[in-house]
Amino acid sequence: MPALAAQPIVYDFVSPSTIVFGWGRRVEVGRLASRIARRAFVVCGSRTLEQSGLPQQFDNLLRQAGVEPIHVPRPASHEPEVSDVDNLTRWLIDRGATDSDCLIAVGGGSTIDLAKAAAALATNSAGVPPSGGSSDRLKPGLQPTSVREFLEGVGSGRTITRPPLPLIAIPTTAGTGSEATKNAVISSYDPPFKKSLRSDLMLPRVVLVDPELTVSVPPHITAWTGMDAITQLIESYVSCRSQPIPRTLAMQGLELAIPAVVEAVRDGSSRSARERMSHAALLSGLSLANSGLGLAHGVAAALGSCAKVPHGLACAVMLRVALRVNRSVCTESFASLAPAITNRTHASTDTAADAVVARIDELCHDLGIPRRLSELGVRPDQIPDLVAGSHGNSLSGNPREISDAELRETLEQMF
């Protein structure tokens, strides 16, 4: 990547309207919701959080602020599928949800993506009033158009044109950055695909990040989600659609996350490690929403839809490979990331770029990330499906083109 000073500076940057970050700040949910809604549909994606009494605490805080809480039936604890989004959309429409209501999504990336997609479909798929205008009441009882019609690559080309129901995103893991992105990743297993519903309109209205909510995340999920954030920070930085503001954010995110992810895995109660990881994950979401991703995320989507490999684990496994595949065209960009990733200076751009690849390798080793696709339950005969399923928005951001033959060979070497 040429130095910024040598390039014309032209960019768009989108982000949520309000970001509230801090340990214990979940108690501000009522104040934040009362600014935008009279009723709040609360989507809580975690049984652990449900058992911790958090929904009851939110109910009290919302009522005190004059907002009526309505609990959405707890979603299935998997990455959202087409039917999950369609069911929640119908549920919201049947309750007459309008833009004077809001959704509050409390959970990991899966929960936030589910809420984000249903919030968009509830105003775009059915019940569109003849007079137009998003404030008109939607019509209960209407069958919503399936989210599948709106998905990139597999849909019928329908797009999100109306503002979704306002969304307050409250992440309980530090990884996907979904709280700050404009897409929701939706899966199907028959036929298998993992594709995005995407629109600038889908950015959450409010993001409330309370790192204390991540303290109960077990070590292996902390490792996988943390590596997802690190992959997003690196891939958005080296993407062929890379942008100036996200580049700055990615540097800070990596500097914090590289040491903090190991600390958070070792000691889940470490306030400082959890804060740094939650902040880095948020920055990774802001970065990827504006700059795109690359090879690791392209293949991770296929690993998810073809072999149900959890997203963070798939990213962690593929990051090392993506760095090697891109090394030859990324000397400058890897070298500029070296101070943040390796925490030291290097004699030349080449040694700095190599040090980045080696440091990520070491980090994956320390976190016990597998190297082989067979360790993820993937079979060699799935390679053609993996190659086909890797194409999409993420892969198109990779800093160099990867042919199907090269991708097939790369995956074969992982057995």
Least separation in angstroms between CB 218 and Zn ion: 19
How far apart are CB 405 and Zn ion at their closest, in Å? Answer: 26
Q: How far is the CB of 22 from Zn ion (least distance, A)?
A: 24
DSSP letters for 261-276: HHHHHH-TT-HHHHHH
Continuous H helices in 216-294 = 219-238, 244-266, 271-291
Query: Which residues have a Cβ under 8 Å from the Cβ of 210 and sit 6 or more positions away?
Result: 22, 23, 24, 25, 26, 170
In the complex with Zn ion, which residue's Cβ is closer, 84 or 228? 228
Please, what is the minimum distance in Å from the beta carbon of residue 173 to Zn ion? 12
Residues contributing to the site for Zn ion (CB under 5 A): 228
Closer to Zn ion by Cβ: residue 33 or 319: 319
Q: Which is nearer to Zn ion, 106 or 296 (CB)?
A: 296
Phi, psi of 372 (to 5 degrees): -100, 140
Nearer to Zn ion, 79 or 255 (CB): 79
Residue 113 vs 228, nearer CB to Zn ion: 228
CA 414 to chain CA centroid, nearest Å: 25
Beta strands at 68-71 and 101-107: parallel, antiparallel or unpaired: unpaired
Q: Least distance (Å) from Zn ion to the CB of residue 297?
A: 6
Q: How far apart are CA 110 and CA 122, in angstroms?
A: 18
Q: Is 207 left (phi over 0), alpha (psi -120 to 50) or beta?
A: beta
What the block records as the tokens of 413 is 């070497």
Closest distance between Zn ion and the C-beta of residue 192, in Å? 18
Q: How far is the CB of 174 from Zn ion (least distance, A)?
A: 12
CA distances from 309 to 350, 374, 382 (A): 34, 11, 13
Residue closer to Zn ion by CB (options 179, 228) is: 228
Q: Compare residues 336 and 394 and give the one whose CB is closer to Zn ion.
A: 394
Structure tokens at 143: 């069958």
Name residues whose C-beta falls within 8 Å of residue 83's C-beta, 6 or more positions apart in sequence: none
Nearer to Zn ion, 59 or 228 (CB): 228
d(CA 31, CA 135): 22
Least Å from the CB of residue 228 to Zn ion:
4
For residue 315, the minimal CB distance to Zn ion (Å) is: 5
Instruction: Give the C-alpha distances (Å, rounded to integers) separating 298 from 194, 294, 310, 344, 396.
Output: 10, 6, 14, 31, 8
* Residue whose beta carbon is closest to Zn ion: 228
Which of 146, 305 has the CB closer to Zn ion? 305
* Measured distance CA(86)–CA(45) in Å, rounded: 17
3-state secondary structure of 395: helix
Element (H, E) at 193: strand 192-198
Q: How far is the CB of 320 from Zn ion (least distance, A)?
A: 15
Cα-atom radius of gyration of the chain, to the nearest Å?
21
Rounded Cα distance between 394 and 403, Å, is 15
Q: Which is nearer to Zn ion, 231 or 333 (CB)?
A: 231
